[in-house]
């Protein structure tokens, strides 16, 4: 019996009086994807997962609200009540519970119900990793970034001391994803010469050459139907998103496709008039509209390939529409980490400033 599982237990403990922002901080600091809500005597009240926080984001909950607000979203989760066990439970029994309930963590309690440890699947099964491959879309012309892209593919533009694409591959590797495909079209030799087989970057690389642009989903047709989940990311996305958290969210919701989304706010600088024909029904002074926009990161199950014809040009938005029409379950995963679409000169300059300021540090 290997104990303790998580010696830094205090890092993941929160109380009802804490705000949601504190919970997020605890989840990120502990790096185990969970926070434990306890009372004044450290008795377990509830478990709060990274997925619970993201579901709250989709509902428009503010991070300044009390942590107990997150409990409203437990009823729609896979486990409304916390799965916990006595601290004396054997590793074999804990592993059985985790597999049966499909959970990554089990809080361990003493005889008084106080939290004393958290059993982790990754500790019980050290070689446990998500069986996921990745595809990075790096074939775009980068027209809006000229003259930077006159002789350099957009994903090969340097952010700090290395190309953006190299940062993406490192993030995938750090998440345990080592089989990576790169879709190329514009100046592919620049990419191939830099990365080669991928061995020096800790991954196995395969290149998909698009003879003509096929769109994000159309390029996936070059792979053929896979046997496992595929993560797809646009080559111009700079992000610290937690790919493991996204994969767990995807599995827990039984999705065929999960699309990462980012909150976008648009302030109208004028008073907005609502009308019913000629009658004015309301006046809203400089309102702010909130939308979730496509963040260019997807997790896709093999069944989705039934909606792709080999050689067909197909954008990801079209594929999502096909899946929805065909009753495929598509879910959204809100990104709360750093994210930037490096598509315009202003964005590229911002990426450099953010890198220099340490905003991309995990």
* Element of type H or E holding 332: strand 330-334
Residue 300 belongs to a domain: yes
Confidence check: pLDDT of 279 > 70: yes
Q: In what order do the strands lie in the sheet with 44-49?
A: 13-14, 34-38, 44-49
Query: Is residue 105 located within the same domain as residue 176?
Result: no
* Tens-digit pLDDT profile for residues 4-23: 788 888 889 999 889 999 99
What's the predicted TM-score (pTM) here? 0.86
pLDDT value of position 316: 92
pLDDT value of position 140: 81
Q: Which of 146-150, 251-255, 315-319 is predicted with the least confidence, judged by mean pLDDT?
A: 146-150
**Cα(75)–Cα(334) distance, rounded to whole angstroms?**
19
Query: Residues 122, 129: contact at Cβ < 8 Å?
Result: no
Query: Is residue 61 located within the same domain as residue 157?
Result: no
Confidence check: pLDDT of 260 > 70: yes
Judge residue 184's burial from the number of C-beta atoms within 10 Å of its C-beta, 0-12 exposed, 13-18 middle, 19 or more buried: buried
Query: Residues 80, 60: contact at Cβ < 8 Å?
Result: no
**What total number of domains does the chain contain?**
2
Helix, strand, coil percentages, rounded to 5, for the chain: 35, 30, 35
Q: Which of 218-227, 228-237, 246-255, 339-348 is predicted with the least confidence, judged by mean pLDDT?
A: 218-227
DSSP state of 73: G
Query: Is residue 161 located within the same domain as residue 183?
Result: yes
Considering only CA atoms, which of 235, 237, 232 is closest in space to residue 259?
A: 232
Q: In what order do the strands lie in the sheet with 105-109?
A: 85-86, 105-109, 115-120
**β-bridge partners, 234:** 137
Query: Residues 136, 123: contact at Cβ < 8 Å?
Result: no
Average pLDDT for the chain: 88
Range of the domain at 113: 9-124
Query: Is residue 72 located within the same domain as residue 148?
Result: no
**Cα(33)–Cα(330) distance, rounded to whole angstroms?**
23
Query: Is residue 13 located within the same domain as residue 36?
Result: yes
Q: Could you tell me how far CA 91 lies from the centroid of its own chain?
A: 30
**Cα(325)–Cα(323) distance, rounded to whole angstroms?**
5
Query: Is residue 90 located within the same domain as residue 176?
Result: no
pLDDT value of position 180: 94
Could you tell me which residues come within 8 angstroms of residue 96 by beta carbon, excluding any fewer than 6 positions away? Answer: none
- Quick check: helix, strand or coil at residue 122? helix
CA angle 308, 320, 339 (to 5 degrees): 115
Query: Is residue 139 located within the same domain as residue 21?
Result: no
Asked which of 72, 97, 124 is the last residue of a domain, the reply is 124
Q: Is the dihedral of CA 164, 196, 216, 213 positive or negative?
A: positive
Query: Is residue 283 located within the same domain as residue 238?
Result: yes
CA angle 81, 87, 91 (to 5 degrees): 95
CATH number of the domain that 81 lies in? 3.10.580.10
- Rounded to 5 degrees, φ, ψ at 302 are -55, -35
CATH number of the domain that 201 lies in? 3.90.550.10
Query: Is residue 136 located within the same domain as residue 118?
Result: no
The length of the chain, given as a count of residues: 362
Query: Is residue 22 located within the same domain as residue 97?
Result: yes
Judge residue 115's burial from the number of C-beta atoms within 10 Å of its C-beta, 0-12 exposed, 13-18 middle, 19 or more buried: buried
Residue with tokens 């970034």: 145
Longest distance between any two alpha carbons in the chain, whole Å: 75
- Quick check: helix, strand or coil at residue 21? helix
- Rounded to 5 degrees, φ, ψ at 307 are -100, 10
Query: Residues 130, 230: contact at Cβ < 8 Å?
Result: no
What is the average pLDDT across 125-137?
77
* Tens-digit pLDDT profile for residues 160-187: 889 999 999 999 999 989 999 999 888 8
Could you tell me which residues come within 8 angstroms of residue 220 by beta carbon, excluding any fewer than 6 positions away? Answer: 135, 230, 232, 300, 305, 308
Query: Residues 2, 123: contact at Cβ < 8 Å?
Result: yes
Residue 148 belongs to a domain: yes
Confidence check: pLDDT of 255 > 90: yes
Confidence check: pLDDT of 356 > 80: yes
Asked which of 124, 153, 186 is the last residue of a domain, the reply is 124
pLDDT value of position 282: 93
pLDDT value of position 217: 85
- Cβ count near 336 (within 10 Å): 19
């Amino acid at each position: 019996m290997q104990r303790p599982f998580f010696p830094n237990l205090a890092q993941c403990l929160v109380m009802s009086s804490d705000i949601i922002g504190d919970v997020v901080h605890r989840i990120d600091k502990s790096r185990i994807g969970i926070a434990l809500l306890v009372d004044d005597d450290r008795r377990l009240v509830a478990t709060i997962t990274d997925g619970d926080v993201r579901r709250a984001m989709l509902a428009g909950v503010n991070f300044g609200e009390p942590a107990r607000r997150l409990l409203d979203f437990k009823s729609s989760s896979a486990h409304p009540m916390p799965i916990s066990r006595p601290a004396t439970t054997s590793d074999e029994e804990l592993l059985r519970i985790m597999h049966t309930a499909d959970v990554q963590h089990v809080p361990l309690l003493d005889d008084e119900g106080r939290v004393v440890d958290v059993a982790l699947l990754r500790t019980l099964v050290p070689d446990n990793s998500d069986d996921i491959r990745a595809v990075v879309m790096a074939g775009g012309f980068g027209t809006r970034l000229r003259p930077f892209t006159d002789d350099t593919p957009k994903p090969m533009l340097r952010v700090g001391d290395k190309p953006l694409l190299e940062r993406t591959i490192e993030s995938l590797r750090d998440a345990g994803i080592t089989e990576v495909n790169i879709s190329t079209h514009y100046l592919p030799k620049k990419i191939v010469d830099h990365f080669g087989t991928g061995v020096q970057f800790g991954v196995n690389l395969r290149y998909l050459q698009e003879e003509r642009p096929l769109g994000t989903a159309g390029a996936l047709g070059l792979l053929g139907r896979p046997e496992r989940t595929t993560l797809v990311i646009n080559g111009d996305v700079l992000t610290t998103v937690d790919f493991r958290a996204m994969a767990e969210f995807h599995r827990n919701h039984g999705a065929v496709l999960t699309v990462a989304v980012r909150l976008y706010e648009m302030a109208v600088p004028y008073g907005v008039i609502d009308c019913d024909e000629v009658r004015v029904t309301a006046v809203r002074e400089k309102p702010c509209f909130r939308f979730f926009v496509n963040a260019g990161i997807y997790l896709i199950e093999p069944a989705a390939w039934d909606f792709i014809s080999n050689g067909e040009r197909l954008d990801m938005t079209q594929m999502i529409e096909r899946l929805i029409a065909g009753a495929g379950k598509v879910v959204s995963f809100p990104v709360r980490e750093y994210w930037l679409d490096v598509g315009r000169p202003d964005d590229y300059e911002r990426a450099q400033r953010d890198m220099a300021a340490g905003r991309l540090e995990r």
